[in-house]
Structure 1
Amino acid sequence: MSDSTATDSTGTKAAKPKRNRLSGGFFRFILTRFLLIIPTVFILVTIVFFVMRATGDPISAALGGRLTPEELSKRIHAAGYDRPLIVQYLDYLGGLLHGDLGTTLTDNQPVITILTRYGAATFELAFLSLIVALIVGIGLGRIAARHRDHAADAGIRVFAILCYATPVFFLGLVLKLIFAVWLNVLPSSGRSDLSSEMQFQRLVSPTGFYIIDSLQLGDMTVLTDVLRHAVLPALALGLLTAGVFIRLVRTNVIATYNSGYVEAARSRGVSESRLLKKHAWRPALIPIITVMGMQIAMMLAGAVLTETTFEWKGLGFMLSTYLKARDFVAVQGIVILIAIIVAVVNFIVDVVAALIDPRVRY
């Protein structure tokens, strides 16, 4: 008897109802995963707060050699850093609940302003890098699986190892040397030319996402300039993740090729290309989606080195700048935002994986 049918009391076969993926259990699953974001972020905020103060108060760390002892003492008292640490911690949590992340010590700007001003640049770079990673990783992974143990497979596996093992800053320097210095076909740094920056000043409501702002201007010259500046940073950061995707796709497609239902389809004369597209591809996609949350975290971490290498002024570039200045208030705010983003992305990945993976139970 087929699994999709059942016999009722009259002896006739009735169709077995299919499992509803959008059932009450699914929404409970979503709610549970969403609520887990709160303790995750709370733990990360707590760790970052106390680690940032392990060497003393932030003002002494940032301005200790620039102010007299009397001025330094006044600044510490005015900021409340001479109070007990637990009082400062509770005060900081209260500020977070009201959206107050403090004020930077080196340039006296609200941290939330820094996040909104430079966050768009990092998100834009991460998005473009993810596109590179998916195109290269999925494309080459499928080719390697289809030509298993042949020259193409061996070459792609070596390429994947190089992508994963090469430090992103070194890859960035190599790309700059080849395409900006030797070939002189792409810019070596920045998000756009000065002329494009001046065009963005005309916008009434700029988003900070240069591609979107270019479309708002309706100027293809500006859009082309922005995309040319984005090619090398996106390649450097995207290839790092592409190496992981290549190995995942190759391994899982090969495993699916050896499954029983694929062998049954092959015995019926189904072509290898159709087996890959119709039978082996979707099961191989599930691990990629599952791992994608961790790769987003790696991308945000890699953005610090990538943005510094290409002078791409985003959160990674500013994090590096504030670390050099020992402005721990700014560093704390940027790290907390990145932690929140990673937690939210992992929540979204869990939901998508639950929708497409029938093995997930809730």
Structure 2
Amino acid sequence: MADIAQAPLPVTPAAAPAARKARGGTTLWRYVLVRFLLIFPTIFILVTTVFLMMRVTGDPITAALGGQLTSAQLAERIEAAGYDRPLIVQYLEYLGQIVRGDFGTTLDGQPVTSVLLRYGGATLELAFYALIVAFVVGIPLGMLAAAIRDRWGDAVLRVFAILCYATPVFFAGLMLKLVFGSWLGVLPTSGRASPRMELLLSRLDGATGIYTIDAIRTGNGALIGDVLAHAVLPGLALGLLTAGVFLRLVRTNVIGTLATPYVDAARSRGVSEFRLVRKHAYKPALIPIITVIGLQIAMLLGGAVLTETTFEWMGLGYQLSEFLKARDYVAVQGIVALLAVIVALTNFIVDIIAAFIDPRVRY
């Protein structure tokens, strides 16, 4: 009798949806918590890797100024910066600085955080345009390739996707500059805006550093057009890199969805292949796109270094290349560490969005 009294009551059909909803909500919040906690070891590993890589060549002062200062001046600089202390002490101090938001100081005395704030908006703007290109080019072409699968057009699109992914971003940028800048003369090939427009933006109160937003705030049509024209070629060069990934991913997932029973049922009713792709297979195929956006953000930030250098786009990537030329490894270390933090946070946000859209991700 005691066992019978303690047995759990059966869930009635009416209460089943509520029970499933409660379990799903609990699972979601558990998933969010786990993904959030994973941010910290990820950032720790990335920051530690950056620190050790920057110390492979010795202390940053000697690496940057070894041939420019006397031995006494060099020793004085090394002692003042604390690079003569044990490596573990430097490492612990470095972690403490990162926790406080201090990413170091450049050779010319600028805090790295001020460099990040000044040029970070430009890199963010470039990544935004690149993602637009990736979505506009990769997703429709991926759907088209799935609709005409195993035909010559599908083969052409697959080769195009491989070329987009495999072509070095700086080479793609140079070709775009040659065609649209030198041969056709229809688009600017360097900078974020023309000199006169740059002057107008520099005088704007409360400027964000993101030229598109600042230009829209002014309401000046010529300024907006100039900023957008300068963003076309860099956005294409960087965006096509990710478009190739999206094209192949959408194609594969749409073809997989088209083989499901509910699509076969629609096909048996005489629904055309293009309508099947557009109405039945499109949305399920977009879920994997969301899950890989975090990885593509890392690729975009890496490609931004070469893209910004090719187009003289004054962002973090361009400044990173300049610091590398100057052997300013403290600045390089700070920028790379911040980019690592951004990538980790972006992956967390993308994972949570994917979990809300697709409940299967939570389990």
Equivalent residue for 2:30? 28
TM-score normalised over the length of structure 2: 0.93
Deviations 1:195-247 (A, max 9, x none): 11110122111100000000111111111111111000000000011011111
Between the aligned partners of 2:336 and 2:59, the Cα distance in structure 1 is 18
Secondary structure at the counterpart of residue 20 of structure 1: helix
Number of the residue aligned with 2:335: 334
Instruction: Return the offset for 1:255.
Output: 1.1
Mapping for residues 246-285 of structure 1, pairs under 5 Å: 246-285=247-286
Name the SS of the counterpart of 2:109 in structure 1.
coil
1:80 pairs, out of 79, 82, 86, with 82
**Greater CA deviation, 270-279 or 190-199?**
270-279
Separation of aligned partners in 1, 2:15 and 2:103: 57
Aligned counterpart, 1:41: 43
Residue 5 (structure 1) aligns with: none
- Displacement of 1:54 after TM fit? 1.2
Cα distance in 2 for residues equivalent to 1:92 and 1:245: 38
Count of residues paired in the alignment = 352
Q: Structure 1 counterpart of 2:48, which letter? A: T
Query: Distance in 1 between the 2:150 and 2:56 partners?
Result: 52
Residue equivalent to 1:61: 63
What pairs up with 1:170-319 in 2 under 5 angstroms?
A: 170-319=171-320
**In structure 1, the residue corresponding to 2:21 is in which secondary structure?**
coil
Q: CA RMSD in A?
A: 1.8
Write the deviation string for residues 304-326 of structure 1: whole angstroms up to 9, x where unpaired: 11111111111111111111111
Give the alignment's TM-score, normalised by structure 1: 0.93
Q: How far 1:355 moved relative to its partner?
A: 1.5
Equivalent positions of 1:136-175 (< 5 A) are 136-175=137-176
CA 1:15–1:257: 2 relative to 1, 3 Å: farther
1:3-39 deviations in Å (ceiling 9; x for gaps): xxxxxx9xx9758517439713211211210111111
> Aligned letter for 1:331?
V
SS in 2 for 1:360: helix
Q: Distance in 2 between matches of 1:271 and 1:162?
A: 31
Q: Following TM superposition, by how much is the alpha carbon of 1:359 offset from its aligned partner in structure 2, in angstroms? A: 2.0
Once the two structures are overlaid, the 10-residue window that deviates more, 128-137 or 60-69, is 60-69
- One-letter amino acid of the structure 2 residue matched with residue 100 of structure 1: D
Which moves more between the two structures, 155-164 or 109-118? 155-164
What is aligned with 1:116? Answer: 117
Question: What SS does the aligned partner of 1:65 have?
Answer: coil
CA distance in structure 1 between the aligned counterparts of 2:161 and 2:155, rounded to whole angstroms: 10
Question: Is the deviation greater in 162-171 or in 146-155?
Answer: 146-155
Quick one: which amino acid aligns to residue 150 of structure 2?
A: D
Residue 4 of structure 1 corresponds to none
Identity %: 66
User: How far apart are the structure 2 equivalents of 1:178 and 1:273?
Assistant: 34
Shift of 1:55: 1.1
Q: Please say if 1:17 is aligned against 2:12.
A: no
- In the alignment, structure 2 segments of 5+ residues that lack a partner are 1-9
Correspondences of 1:123-138 after superposition (within 5 Å) = 123-138=124-139
The SS at the match of 1:347 is: helix
What is the identity, as a one-letter code, of the residue corresponding to 1:41? I
Unaligned runs of 5+ in 1: 1-8
- What amino acid does structure 2 have at the position aligned with 1:17? P
Alignment match, 1:347: 348
> Which structure dedicates a bigger proportion of its chain to helix?
2
Counterpart CA distance in 1 for 2:344 and 2:85 is: 31
**Structure 1 274/14 Cα, relative in aligned 2: closer, same or farther at 3 Å?**
farther
Amino acid in structure 1 at the alignment position of 2:139: I
C-alpha distance in structure 2 between counterparts of 1:49 and 1:289, whole Å = 31
| Residues 220 and 14 of structure 1, relative CA distance in 2, 3 Å threshold | same
Matched, 1:93 2:95: yes
Whole-angstrom CA distance in 1 between matches of 2:70 and 2:187: 48
